[in-house]
Amino acid sequence: QVQLVESGGGLVQAGGSLRLSCVASGSIRRIGTMGWYRQAPGKQRELVATITDERDTAYADFVKGRFTISRDNAKNTVYLQMASLLPEDTAVYFCYARLLTAMIVWDDYWGQGTQVTVSS
- Count other Cβ atoms within 10 Å, centred on residue 18: 21
Instruction: Quote the Cα angle for 100-93-39, to 5°.
Output: 110
Could you report the per-residue pLDDT of 82-115, keeping only the tens digit for each? 999 999 999 999 999 999 988 888 999 999 999 9
Contact, 41 vs 116, CB < 8 A? no
Mean pLDDT (the chain) is 96
